Amino acid sequence: MGGHVNVMDDVLISNLPPAYLRSALRTLLSQGPINQRPFVEHIRARLEETPPPLTEPSKLFPSPGTSSPECVDFLALTRCVFSSKLAGESLAYLSHFVNSIIQAHASWTPKSPLSQNLDKFAGDAVQAMQALKESAPEKSPKLREDLQALLASFSSCQTYCTNSKLQYPFSRADRQVRDTLQLFFPDTAIQSLPSNADRITVTLPPDSAIETFTLGNRQLPRLFNGLWQLSSPAFGVGNSDQQQQKLIKLVEAGLVAADMADHYGDAELVYGEFRNSLPPDIQPEIYAATKWCVFKPINTRVTTEYVLAAVKERCRRLGGRVDLLQFHWYDYEAKEYLEILHELIGITKSHPELLSAVGLCNFDAEHTEEICKYLIDRTGEVGIVSNQVQFSPIDTRPLMGMTQVCERYNLKLLTYGSLCGGLLTEKWLNQPPPDIYSPSNPLNPSQRKYLDMISHWGTWQEFQSLLSTLSLLATKYSVSIADVASRWVLQQPSVGAILVGTRLGISDRCADALKVFGWNLSNVDIMAIDAFAHGKGGEKLGAVYQKIGDCGQEYRGMRA
């Protein structure tokens, strides 16, 4: 029945500008699997019925440094292939693109249009490998051959770049494909990439002004480098060298902790390689917080071996220990999460070289308390140390119960979204709402997400009033709006640190981020922010809570 729609709806579909259609699709898909599943299945069926052709190398790369329309179209269709759960089928397209560089004798200079598209392709390949891992395909000989063929194309391209005196653009992608092949076929002999060991020299600040807090047995900065933005090229793409230089700068500023996840593209590989390339005396200072996110039934019995294997997989990608493993669970009705957390706490004691501490991710107050009581009953101690939740002046749900639970059981909150994807900045003060249909200045996934949060909280005009108040306080303390918003979160009960999104190799806000330290908002200042954050009579305090539910509820039931 895919072709049968209301006549007037058909008029809309036939005449709406592409940007409007994209916005409408995002709205429909945000409603959950009931819409997401048929959408993806339809696209997948069309692509299987009529697979995109393998464009000739001469059309992909017709002249030095240029990015042809055929090249742009080929990359776009390749993204559609792996994003529609045809990740295995996308391997042939990825290999073809890399091999075509050699066959067409392509060349480029740094920052040329073609160089930028090659960087995007590297990000696409990273995302394709993540899609392949999530699809859990049959470990067939063909899959092994296709992954090996892609690796071979990278190797040939690297030789071509060396001989042609071109910068090799696919180090990130190469590393991610190797990791995927090792995951699916651990018996496969894979030649290691050249190590960066002995290349990186960093100097930690002797007397850092960075504020710290205690988490488990570690003293950590109250700003974590958030690596979510490595999960999608939509945030921009930096190459390996650019990412490494940014990490060096962050660590030398004292920002030695990073937050990542098993599904944030190659974040664990990027951070693990960086950590292992540092001098041995510096490596223990670098803090790696990652996640184990379960989005669907596990269909297996919870055993020590099962949980230990999950820990070891994250250690493999990090090339060493997990300092903090934050656990997310898809459905509170399925109680295996209690057993898994009990096993994880046991592993911190039996295998401290693999796992140092355990936390939660996007658990609500009720179930966080349930977990604490369960662990105390089983082990005599709470065991977990943290919960990662969204917390900002427009999302105060943690104040509805979470902070009280954390104080009761001595847990720390690690908060994200505290700057609303950059919307809580001077850029948006006295500005109209962003044009979600703009093709020239599109919002990235983070901005779209937090613009939606603002709509749950209140109107754009009310958001402007909040920004104005933050701006006045920014002037008072000679800082930025972002610093004031961050400071407000840091001064809330049980908050240990905020996660600041780090676009490695794309932007550099390290110096600005450090201005959040060394001062405090007064009680009067906090009350001024609260007046807008909570609303008159406190009606906004529970607005997002009432519309979405408690902390993390928006992430339950999302995956098809």
- Whether 7 has a pLDDT exceeding 90, the answer reads no
Strand partners, 412: 386
pTM of the model: 0.91
H/E run at residue 47: helix 33-49
Burial 224-236 (b: 16+ CB within 10 A, else e): bbbbbbbbbbebb
Look up the CATH architecture of domain 212-555: Alpha-Beta Barrel (3.20)
Strand partners, 395: 392
* 412-458 pLDDT tens trace: 999 999 999 999 999 999 999 988 767 777 788 888 889 999 999 99
More confident residue, 8 or 550: 550
* 205-262 pLDDT tens trace: 877 789 999 999 999 999 999 998 887 776 667 778 888 889 999 999 999 999 999 8
Length of the chain: 560
Burial 486-507 (b: 16+ CB within 10 A, else e): bbbbbebebbbbbbbbbbbbee
Let me know if 389 is exposed, middle or buried by CB neighbors in 10 A (0-12, 13-18, 19+).
Answer: buried
Helices (H) and strands (E) in the chain, counts: 21, 10
Let me know if 289 is exposed, middle or buried by CB neighbors in 10 A (0-12, 13-18, 19+).
Answer: buried
Average pLDDT over residues 516-539: 93
**In contact, 209 and 518? CB cutoff 8 Å:** yes
Strands (E) in 183-281, as ranges, are 212-215, 218-221, 223-226, 257-259
* 484-518 pLDDT tens trace: 999 999 999 999 999 998 877 566 565 577 899 99
**Residue 560: what pLDDT?**
42
When pLDDT is cut at 50, 70 and 90, the band that residue 300 belongs to is very high
* Residue in the block written with tokens 């997990």: 322
**Residue 197: what pLDDT?**
45
When pLDDT is cut at 50, 70 and 90, the band that residue 556 belongs to is confident
Q: Where are the CATH 3.20.20.100 domain residues in the chain? A: 212-555
* 325-379 pLDDT tens trace: 999 999 999 999 999 999 999 999 999 999 999 999 999 999 999 999 999 999 9
